[in-house]
Structure 1
Amino acid sequence: MPKQPIRVELSSTKKPKPQSDQLEFGKIFTDHMFVMDYSIDQGWYDPRIIPYQAIPMDPASMVYHYGQSVFEGLKAYVSEDQKILLFRPEKNMERLNRSNDRLCIPQIDTETVLEGLNELIRIDKDWVPDAEGTSLYIRPFIISTEPYLGVAPSSTYKLLIILSPVGSYYKEGIHPVKIAVENEFVRAVKGGTGNAKTAGNYASSLKAQQVAETKGFSQVLWLDGVEKKYIEEVGSMNIFFKINGEIVTPELNGSILEGITRNSVLELLKHWGIPVTERKISIDELIEAHQSGELEEIFGTGTAAVISPVGELIYHDQPYVIQDGQTGEVSKKLYEAITGIQKGTQPDIFGWTVEVDSVVKQA
C-alpha cells in the first residue's frame, strides 16, 4: 500500500497555555489533533492534523451502544538540552494493535500513526512543559463510528490522537499512596477483555474506585475474578511487591494489562541483578508476608504516575502499613532511573527513548 501523505490544517487561533504549576491531569488540550478514518473499501485513509475540535457523530454510532473502542497512553518529555523525547512509543502501538485484535478493530499501520504523532508534536511543541514532574500526555484512541444498532463489529472507525500538558497523576507524586483491596467487585476474568486497553474495563472499575476514594484511598487493588484470591493489578497500574529481598509481580494471565512501564521495570531489575519473579501471588500470602515482617515494599507502575509507592493497604477494613508509610529504596531507584531516561538525564542503555524528529523546543 503506498504511503499516505499527512494533510495539515493549522489552527487560526491559539489557546492560552497554562502555567506549569497549574497543570492537573488530563484537563487541558493543545491546539491540534491527529485524525485518520477507516472504511472496509478504503482501509485506513486520510491521515491529517487539524485544529482540536468536537467530533460530529451520528447518535447511532456503534461506539455509543456497544463500546467498541480502544486507547493508549504515553508521554513526551523535554530533555535538558530542550529536545523532545518519547518513551518506547512503538510498544504502545504494538499494544494498541493487540487491543484492536481483541475488539475486532482493524489493525493500524504503526509507522503511519507514529509519523502522525511526530508531526503533531512538532506542530504543538511549545505545549510540552519542562518543569519538574510535568510532561505532555499523549492519548491515541479508536472508536467505532458506523450508525447501526446491530450487534456486530463496525464497518467504519476513527483514530485520533490528542495531547494534554500534565502534572503529576497523583497529588502525592512519588510519595506513597493508600490503596484498598477490592473483594466485592471484579475487574476482569481470563477470556474477557482485561488484557486489552478498552474503555469498558475502566467503566466497570469506577464503582469500586468511587467507594475507595470516599474512604481516603487513591486506588483499588483487584483480585482475580474467579476465586477472588490472587492479586492482579491496581486500577491504573501494574503492581509489584518486595518480599524478603525478592521482587514479585503477578504473571500475565489473560486478564492483566501488560504495561510498558511494567516491562521496563522488569528489564531494569534484571539488569541491576535484583531478583524478580512473575508468578501468581495470593492476598493471603501478601498478608502473611506483612505479618512476618518480610513485606518490604509495594509499588505500582504505569505511564501516568511512572512509579507509585504504596504506603498503606487495607483489606477487610484492616490497615497494613508498608515501609512505615515511606517510599522504599527500590521504588525510589526505579523512579529516578525511568524518569531520568525519559528526560535524558540518565544514560539510555536500552535504547528506549525516541527523539521527536528534528524538534527542539523553544527555550
Structure 2
Amino acid sequence: MIGTAQKIAIEKTKTSKITSVDFDNLPFGSVFSDHMLVCDYRNGAWEAPKIMPYQPISLDPSAKIFHYGQSVFEGMKAYRDKDHNIWLFRPEDNYKRLNVSSKRMAMPELPKEYFMEGLKTLLQLDRDWIPQSEGSSLYVRPFIFASGRGFHASPADEYKFIIATAPSGAYFSSGKVKVLIEETYSRAANGGVGFAKAGGNYAGQFYPTQLAVEKGYQQVIWTDDNAHEYIEEAGAMNIFVRIKDTLVTGPVSDRILDGITRKSILEIAREEGIPAEVRKLKVNEVVEAAKNGTLKEMFGAGTAAVVSPIAAFGYRGSDYDLPQLEKSYASRFKKRITDIQYNRSEDSFGWRFKV
C-alpha cells in the first residue's frame, strides 16, 4: 500500500502541450492534459500506480474488454479558485461508487489509497491545466477495464486502472434541452447493471438517442423496462421534476444510478426547506401536470452539466413546453453547488475536498 503521494513514481512529459490549448474556447472532454495515472492488476493484486505522459496504450486483440465489456468508470471535476487552490467535489463518493460498479462487473476493487493519492498527485502535477474561466473545469475520468487475454467467456485475470483528465468548457453550451419520453427502448432492467457506471450502459443508450435526435430532440427520458409507466432518468443523468413547489425524483434501484449530484440536490433541498419527494413518478402524472399548468420544471442532474434544465418534452406525438421561470429550482441548485465547487461560498455539508 502507498501511504503518501511521494511514493507514486512519476515520469514527466518532455514537452508540454499546454501552450497549444485555447483555454477560452474549450470543448468538453476532447483536449487532454499532459499526464495520466496507470495502475495494473496482475497475479491477484494491484501493482503500484505510476504517472506517465498521456499516451496511447497497447492491448492484445484478445483483451477481454473488447469481447465481454468489463469496463467501469467515474466522472469527476477539479476546480481552481481565485487563489489558485485546487478543489474536488465529494471524491470519496466517486471512489466508493467505482468499487460498487467493479464488484457488479466481477472486477477487482481498488484500494482507496491508490485512488485518492493517485488523484491528488496527478492533479498537483497538472494543476496548470485546470481552467479558471466561469463554467470551465478539469474533467477527471477514472476508469478500470479488463486487459487480460482470452476468448473464454469469463472474468479477466488482468485489469488496468487509469485516470485521465481533460480541461473542459460547459457540457451543454446551448442551455435548455428538448427531450423525448422513450416507450420502446429501455436503459436498464431489474437485476441488471443500470446502477453501475458500466460502459455498456451508455453504449446501449446511443441508438435510441440517435432516433430521438432525428425527431428534433436532444435527449431521451428513460422509463421503466416493464410497462414504460414511470419516469426514471434523463439521458445519462438523474432527473428531477417540479410539480407546483414540490421536487420529485425516482428512488435509486437496480436500474437507476445513485448520482452524486442527485444526492447533493436532495440534501440542499432539505436544508433550504424545499419540499422534496423520492418516489416513483408516473409519466401520466407529468403529462397531466403539464396540461393543467402545475408542471413548473424538469431538469437533469449529473457531474458533467451539474444541472441541465429541460425546455420541453415530447410524448406520444405531442410536445409540452415548460414555463420560463425567473427563480427556478434548477438555477438555484446549480448556483449553490457550483459556488461550493469553486470555493465561492461556505460548505456546510463538508463536500469540498482540497487537493
TM above 0.5, yes or no, is yes
Q: Which amino acid aligns with 1:217?
A: Y
Q: Select the residue among 9, 22, 26 that pairs with 2:25.
A: 22
Q: Which amino acid aligns with 2:49?
A: P
Q: Which amino acid aligns with 1:85?
A: W
- Structure 1 stretches of at least 4 aligned residues deviating more than 6 Å after TM superposition: none
The alpha carbon displacement at 1:218 in A equals 2.0
Deviations 1:27-50 (A, max 9, x none): 100010000010234x11121000
Structure 1 residue 201 corresponds to structure 2 residue 195 = no
Deviations 1:226-280 (A, max 9, x none): 1111111011210001112111001112100110000000000000011111110
Secondary structure of 1:290's match? helix
Q: TM-score by structure 1 length?
A: 0.94
Q: 1:327 to 1:53 in 2, by over 3 A?
A: farther
Q: Select the residue among 148, 151, 154 that pairs with 1:149.
A: 151
The alpha carbon displacement at 1:215 in A equals 2.8
Question: Does the Cα contact within 8 Å between 2:2 and 2:114 map onto a contact in 1?
Answer: no
Structure 1 residue 347 corresponds to structure 2 residue 350 = no
Paired-residue identity, %: 43
Question: Does the Cα contact within 8 Å between 1:193 and 1:201 map onto a contact in 2?
Answer: yes
Instruction: Determine the C-alpha separation between the residues in 2 that align with 1:47 and 1:283.
Output: 47
Question: Does the Cα contact within 8 Å between 2:240 and 2:300 map onto a contact in 1?
Answer: yes
Q: Which moved more, 1:230-239 or 1:214-223?
A: 214-223
What's 2:126 paired with? 124
Secondary structure of 2:221's match? strand
What's 1:38 paired with? 41
Q: Select the residue among 57, 67, 70 that pairs with 2:69.
A: 67
Secondary structure of 1:190's match? coil
Instruction: Determine the C-alpha separation between the residues in 2 that align with 1:104 and 1:88.
Output: 25
Structure 1 residue 188 corresponds to structure 2 residue 188 = yes
Q: Which moved more, 1:178-187 or 1:197-206?
A: 178-187
Secondary structure of 1:55's match? coil
Instruction: Determine the C-alpha separation between the residues in 1 that align with 2:74 and 2:20.
Output: 24
Instruction: Determine the C-alpha separation between the residues in 2 that align with 1:63 and 1:179.
Output: 32
The alpha carbon displacement at 1:17 in A equals 4.3
Instruction: Determine the C-alpha separation between the residues in 1 that align with 2:272 and 2:201.
Output: 34
Q: Which amino acid aligns with 2:291?
A: Q
- Could you list the runs of 5+ residues in structure 1 that have no partner in the other structure? 357-363
Matches within 5 A, 1:193-232: 193-232=193-232
Instruction: Determine the C-alpha separation between the residues in 2 that align with 1:327 and 1:160.
Output: 42
Q: TM-score by structure 2 length?
A: 0.96
The alpha carbon displacement at 1:80 in A equals 2.0
The alpha carbon displacement at 1:289 in A equals 1.2
What's 2:301 paired with? 301
Q: Which amino acid aligns with 2:90?
A: R
Q: Which moved more, 1:13-22 or 1:245-254?
A: 13-22
Q: 1:2 to 1:304 in 2, by over 3 A?
A: closer
Question: Does the Cα contact within 8 Å between 1:62 and 1:148 map onto a contact in 2?
Answer: yes
The alpha carbon displacement at 1:327 in A equals 6.7
Question: Does the Cα contact within 8 Å between 1:309 and 1:331 map onto a contact in 2?
Answer: yes
Structure 1 residue 89 corresponds to structure 2 residue 91 = yes
Secondary structure of 1:70's match? strand
Equivalenced residue count is 352
The alpha carbon displacement at 1:111 in A equals 2.2
The alpha carbon displacement at 1:213 in A equals 2.0
Secondary structure of 2:345's match? coil
Question: Does the Cα contact within 8 Å between 1:181 and 1:223 map onto a contact in 2?
Answer: yes
